[in-house]
Amino acid sequence: QTRTAHLQAIDAAHHIHPFCDPKSLAERGTRVITKADGCYVEDSDGNRILDGMAGLWCVNVGYGRQELVDVAARQMEELPFYNSFFQSSTPSQIALAERLSKITPGDLNHFFFANSGSEANDTVIRMARHYWHLKGKPEKYKFIGRHLGYHGSTLAATSLGGMKHMHDMGSSTLPGFEHIMEPHWFAHGGNLSPEQFALRAAQALEDKILEIGADNIAAFIGEPIQGAGGVISPPPGYWPEIERICRKHDILFVSDEVICGFGRLGEWFGCQYYGVQPDIMPMAKGMSSGYLPISAVAFSDRIFETLNEGGPISHGYTYSGHPVSCAVAHANIDIIEREGLVERVRNDIGPYLQSGLAHLYERHSIIGEVRGAQALAGLQLVRSRDTREPFAAEDNAAMICRDICLEKGLIMRAVGQAMVICPPLTITHAEIDEMIDKADAGLREAASRLGL
């Protein structure tokens, strides 16, 4: 038995995988990833694969950063753990909170630390409700999210998100969460121009507010670009209109920056790309480039002051502000800044990637639409571009395309009927060329296998 087969057998016997098809796992086994460097991962059979997904939308500075290893080792030697509950802090927590305050927009100056995007969003829910309670408006507790929004997998984050397949899992949702249409022009735009559709999609928020009453609503939450929903980027005009509606009805505006933060859209945060200013901003993933788990929630001055008036915040995780994760996140932000990765995305690799994808669009009618912005992209696969006819679910079009690309040495993710791309921000032109070439060959083969 090969090492791979041995590991796969143990994995199949004992390891439960999130979001994987058990039948496919049983038939083909798991792919065992053993090491990584730069933009490439390597599997247990020695195949080098270009990672077009930055791990899971997170390895913004690429793999193999010895500097982050050294920082983690030093922090572990000095102080591997201390909590933030006992009116106590560690230097790395303090430094990270200050560092974040320098890159977050506006007055988002106060940070609560957690370990994952899901925990960050649970924190958002509890704190926003607490805020309104302290303001004397306890009935303002509902949240409005969007269909195909993804905010995590805890019970509350699942409820906040708009993923039907997650809600359906034993009715695992809580009351108090409402969802509006996602701003998906290709799916819902009909004959409207993108700009007209942007206003219509934003109007769905006001309609929902009027339906359930602003007095009952704590906040609206959205990802600047919906990642796990298939990289759904709203047409121009959508976000400013959403912000205006939130302000008009006195509803907190939450921008979930778990994917879009830390340079992905050529700004430190996705809300800056769209020119809007949230009241609360959860972040994770690119915050440490995935080297260690850490997340944070940024709060505005106004919210922080109100929360403080309420006395102790009865909310926290053992590993809130884990000193090693904080030290690594801080060093990771240093790398992003030192290497100018935010500007690099904006001026160089973002446009370069998007022009490569435009080239794919010209060559492949199986691509109905290229979505996203800068270093985040989605290719909507369709049976017919002209009529926007989708593939049937049982065609498994995106999964077929993903598997073919993987065979060719490129990781892309299949989400619904879209192929998703989110590479490390350090990716070179040559690596983007390789990605486009492999996707080109993969799309051609997939189209032929799907009878086009």
Footprint of ligand PLP (CB under 6 A): 116-118, 121, 150-152, 223, 227-228, 256, 258-259, 284
Q: Which is nearer to ligand PLP, 227 or 368 (CB)?
A: 227
Hunting for tokens 């922080």 — which residue is that?
Answer: 304
Tell which residue, 415, 420, 422, 412, has the closest CA to residue 378. 420
Number of Cβ within 10 Å of residue 50's Cβ equals 22
**Largest Cα span, the chain:** 66
- Rounded to a whole number of angstroms, the minimum distance from the CB of residue 53 to ligand PLP is 11
Q: Which is nearer to ligand PLP, 227 or 442 (CB)?
A: 227
Q: Which is nearer to ligand PLP, 281 or 447 (CB)?
A: 281
- Rounded to a whole number of angstroms, the minimum distance from the CB of residue 255 to ligand PLP is 10
* Structure token digits, residue 311: 């006395």
CA separation for the pair 89, 62 (Å, rounded): 30
Q: Chain-centre distance of CA 155, in angstroms?
A: 18
Q: Which is nearer to ligand PLP, 157 or 201 (CB)?
A: 157
CA separation for the pair 30, 73 (Å, rounded): 30
- Rounded to a whole number of angstroms, the minimum distance from the CB of residue 234 to ligand PLP is 14
Q: Which is nearer to ligand PLP, 367 or 373 (CB)?
A: 373
- Rounded to a whole number of angstroms, the minimum distance from the CB of residue 284 to ligand PLP is 5
Q: Which is nearer to ligand PLP, 62 or 152 (CB)?
A: 152
Which DSSP helix (H) or strand (E) runs through 413?
strand 413-415
- Rounded to a whole number of angstroms, the minimum distance from the CB of residue 124 to ligand PLP is 10
Residues belonging to the chain: 452
Q: Which is nearer to ligand PLP, 56 or 192 (CB)?
A: 56
DSSP readout, 86-143?
Answer: SS---HHHHHHHHHHHHHSSTTEEEEEEESSHHHHHHHHHHHHHHHHHHTT-TT--EE
Q: Chain-centre distance of CA 269, in angstroms?
A: 12
Tell which residue, 380, 288, 243, has the closest CA to residue 100. 288
Look at residue 266 and give its three-state secondary structure.
coil
| CB-side neighbour CA atoms (13 Å) of 264 | 35
Q: Which is nearer to ligand PLP, 145 or 390 (CB)?
A: 145
Q: Which is nearer to ligand PLP, 62 or 270 (CB)?
A: 270
CA separation for the pair 57, 99 (Å, rounded): 22
Contacts of 147 (CB under 8 A, 6+ apart): 162, 164, 179, 180, 181, 182, 229
- Rounded to a whole number of angstroms, the minimum distance from the CB of residue 440 to ligand PLP is 27
CA separation for the pair 416, 391 (Å, rounded): 10
Q: Which residue is nearest to ligand PLP (CB)?
A: 117
- Rounded to a whole number of angstroms, the minimum distance from the CB of residue 153 to ligand PLP is 6
Q: Which is nearer to ligand PLP, 274 or 391 (CB)?
A: 274
CA separation for the pair 185, 195 (Å, rounded): 9
Q: Which is nearer to ligand PLP, 228 or 418 (CB)?
A: 228
Contacts of 356 (CB under 8 A, 6+ apart): 432, 433, 435, 436
- Rounded to a whole number of angstroms, the minimum distance from the CB of residue 314 to ligand PLP is 22
- Rounded to a whole number of angstroms, the minimum distance from the CB of residue 258 to ligand PLP is 3
